Amino acid sequence: MTIERFDGPFALVRFRAGADVRLGLLSGDRVRALGSDELGASGLNDFLAAPDWDRLAALADGDGEWMPLADVTLTAPVEPRQVLQTGANYRQHVIELVVAGLTQDGTRTPDQARSFAADIMDERKRSGEPYFFIGLPAAVVGDDVPLTLPGYSKVHDWELELAVVIGRQAFRVSREEALDHVAGYTIVNDVTTRDLVFRKDMKEIGTDWYRAKNAPGFLPTGPLLVPAPFVDASNLNVRLELNGEAMQDASTTDLLFDIPALISGASQTMPLLPGDLLLTGSPAGNGQHWKRFLRDGDVMTGSIEGLGTQVVRCVAEVAR
């Protein structure tokens, strides 16, 4: 199991124990199981509703039945009831998309198009609102599960993202209150089937995020849930490598809407519940940009500074 780029005091994990999945505490290169007595709560989401990090810190420094990390199979560290995804939220990424569209007819040079797009993005940041859509919690898996590429398309794409793990329920909270509702952070690869994003049979309907983003295993998550006090989410490196070659390499400083704005905006419609995931958007460098999509045998290595590394292996769907 790879836990690179994580040097925090401890993190929450979930790991496989035979046919079951158990909650655990990671400290250094060892893991111990957490039952309700150790946790002080009936389960993960109940703990996240009012997280007692001091309690876990004491356990991390103490004795117990620890297991070597190398002997443990980690899986998704969260059990969300809701998954919210954010679209078009990295400034440079969106600018490049707009430039690509504006330069097709030759009426603008790339520099003119880039200046125009930058003005649009800056105005959107000043007076606009985040763009949300929803995913299925059933698509959340750990990187211990290979990503099966559905045979109905050849344009499955990656989108590595920082994900907020909600703590105390958030409903119609202000931006100033928003971070009080964050329990921690994790890594999510928001896999997308590009040719299903827009409906071909009725273009007036627009996007079809259900079919494009919710196949089994399309939300590889984790391997760690890192407590919020250990993370400065405003300035983290986000990097995805495909078979060892860097595809995405950006910083969360480029977010159009920061995490307080996202939490506040998303909470205006529906309460965000303890354990829910709020994805913050994908930086530039996905397969659509490179004109290279996922294939059988590909290995995606996704890292976010301070949150560890996930390694997702792709396999072709067996023909039915």
Task: Choose one of 32, 56, 75: the last residue of a domain.
Answer: 75
**Closest alpha carbon to 13 in 162, 168, 134, 187:** 187
298 has which bridge partners? none
Count the neighbouring beta carbons within 10 Å of the beta carbon of residue 73: 12
Task: Match 């401890």 to its residue by tokens.
Answer: 10
Token pair for 137:
């919690």
Q: What is the CATH number of the domain that holds 249?
A: 3.90.850.10
Residue 111 and residue 90 share a domain = yes
Residue 87 and residue 71 share a domain = no
State residue 98's pLDDT score: 73
Let me know if residue 4 belongs to a domain: no
Task: Choose one of 50, 75, 100: the last residue of a domain.
Answer: 75
**Closest alpha carbon to 256 in 88, 84, 115:** 88
Residue 22 and residue 100 share a domain = no
Residue 55 and residue 93 share a domain = no
With H, G, I as helix, E, B as strand and everything else as coil, classify residue 62. Answer: coil
The CA-based diameter of the chain, rounded to the nearest angstrom, is 69
Residue 163 and residue 26 share a domain = no
CA within 13 Å, CB half, 111? 0
Residue 94 and residue 29 share a domain = no
pLDDT in tens, the chain (320 residues): 455 556 789 999 999 988 899 999 999 999 999 999 999 999 999 999 999 999 999 999 988 899 999 999 999 999 999 999 999 899 887 777 777 666 667 777 888 888 888 888 888 888 889 999 999 999 999 999 999 999 999 999 999 999 999 999 999 999 999 999 999 999 999 999 999 998 888 877 888 999 999 999 999 999 999 999 999 999 999 999 999 999 999 999 999 999 999 999 999 999 999 999 999 999 999 998 899 999 999 999 999 999 999 999 999 998 77
State residue 243's pLDDT score: 98
- Residue 227 — φ and ψ, nearest 5°? -55, 140
CB 38 within 8 A of CB 23: no
Q: Which residues does 172 contact at the CB level (< 8 Å), separation at least 6?
A: 267, 268
DSSP state, residue 255: B
Token pair for 258:
């920061």
The amino acid occupying position 104 is: Q
CB 237 within 8 A of CB 160: no
**Closest alpha carbon to 166 in 230, 90, 89, 225:** 225
Residue 111 CA to residue 108 CA, distance in Å, equals 8
Task: Choose one of 36, 55, 75: the last residue of a domain.
Answer: 75
Residue 120 and residue 43 share a domain = no
Residue 3 Cα distances to 146, 250, 261, angstroms: 18, 20, 30
Domain span holding position 125: 83-316
Residue 242 CA to residue 299 CA, distance in Å, equals 6
Residue 215 and residue 66 share a domain = no
State residue 107's pLDDT score: 76
Query: Cis (ω within 30 of 0) for the bond into 223?
Result: yes
Residue 70 and residue 210 share a domain = no
Token pair for 288:
């659509």
Return the H-helix or E-strand segment holding 59. Answer: helix 53-60
**Closest alpha carbon to 279 in 192, 155, 197, 171:** 192
